[in-house]
């Protein structure tokens, strides 16, 4: 007969949940502070501001989900394409910045194509492909360079984390969730570009 597991494991579950909630709460507060700091540069583009806030919120949810379960649910990702696209197209209607709308679409399409090729020929998951395309929408709106450096920074952060895991566990079979690093790279570049 098997029991529910060691008491130490059961006792650690509320602690882990509490830490996740603390991280999310702190991240939301961080987002609010950064958004206030961007008011001067984004004051005339409220829907772009909303898109950045939404990207941050859904990105953090997906990062935590991927970290905990190694899954990136379509129920979060697919609607986000529509929400971000609608916000940025609406912003284009208001400000007539159609070149920014076109750039966002092109960057998202190019990112999806590159990441799909990586999925075909490497161990990159399909969820990471869809996540990268979603993050590329606001990055592409920001600039061409943001569309490039966002994923590039994600790969760099993921590589650093992979090396740390490899050194600490001494095992090459440990599977690393890539979503959190894609989100982190995109948010760093997005806020840096938007705030400048």
pLDDT tens-digit readout, 21-32: 555 556 556 655
The contacts of residue 147 (CB under 8 Å, 6+ apart) are 103, 107, 110, 111, 136, 139, 140
Measured between alpha carbons, how far is 194 from 49 in angstroms, rounded to an integer?
Answer: 9
**Confidence category of residue 20, pLDDT binned at 50, 70, 90:** low
User: For residues 140 and 105, is the Cβ–Cβ distance under 8 A?
Assistant: yes
Q: Report the half-sphere exposure of 134 (CA within 13 A, side-chain side).
A: 32
pLDDT of residue 2: 43
Other C-beta atoms lying within 10 Å of the C-beta of residue 134 = 30
pLDDT of residue 170: 64
pLDDT of residue 8: 44
Which ranges of 122-143 does DSSP label H, i.e. alpha helix?
126-142
Range name among 50-64, 74-88, 182-196 with the lowest pLDDT average? 182-196
pLDDT of residue 167: 80
For the segment 81-108, the average pLDDT, to the nearest whole number, is 92
Measured between alpha carbons, how far is 74 from 127 in angstroms, rounded to an integer?
Answer: 8
Higher pLDDT, 45 or 98: 98
Q: Is 13 exposed, middle or buried (0-12, 13-18, 19+ CB in 10 A)?
A: exposed
Q: Say if residue 57's pLDDT is above 60.
A: yes
**Confidence category of residue 60, pLDDT binned at 50, 70, 90:** confident
Which ranges of the chain does DSSP label H, i.e. alpha helix?
7-37, 39-42, 46-69, 74-95, 98-121, 126-142, 144-169, 179-195
- Identify which of 138, 54, 60, 46 has the alpha carbon closest to the alpha carbon of residue 93: 46
CA 96 and chain centroid, separation: 27
Domain boundaries, the chain: 10-195
Tokens of 175: 């599977």
**Confidence category of residue 3, pLDDT binned at 50, 70, 90:** very low
């Amino acid at each position: 007969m098997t029991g529910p597991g060691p008491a130490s494991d059961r006792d650690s579950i509320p602690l882990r949940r509490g830490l996740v909630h603390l991280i999310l709460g702190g991240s939301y507060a961080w987002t609010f502070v950064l958004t206030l700091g961007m008011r001067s540069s984004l004051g005339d583009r409220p829907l772009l501001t909303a898109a950045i806030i939404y990207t941050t919120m859904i990105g953090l949810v997906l990062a935590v989900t991927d970290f905990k379960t190694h899954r990136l649910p379509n129920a979060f990702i697919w609607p986000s394409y529509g929400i971000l696209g609608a916000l940025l197209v609406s912003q284009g209607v208001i400000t007539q910045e159609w070149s920014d709308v076109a750039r966002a679409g092109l960057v998202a399409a190019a990112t999806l194509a590159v990441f799909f090729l990586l999925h075909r020929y490497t161990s990159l998951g399909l969820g990471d492909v869809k996540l990268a395309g979603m993050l590329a929408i606001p990055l592409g709106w920001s600039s061409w360079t943001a569309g490039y450096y966002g994923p590039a920074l994600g790969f760099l952060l993921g590589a650093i984390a992979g090396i740390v895991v490899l050194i600490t566990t001494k095992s090459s079979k440990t599977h690393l969730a890539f979503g959190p690093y894609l989100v982190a790279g995109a948010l760093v570049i997005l806020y840096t570009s938007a705030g400048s």
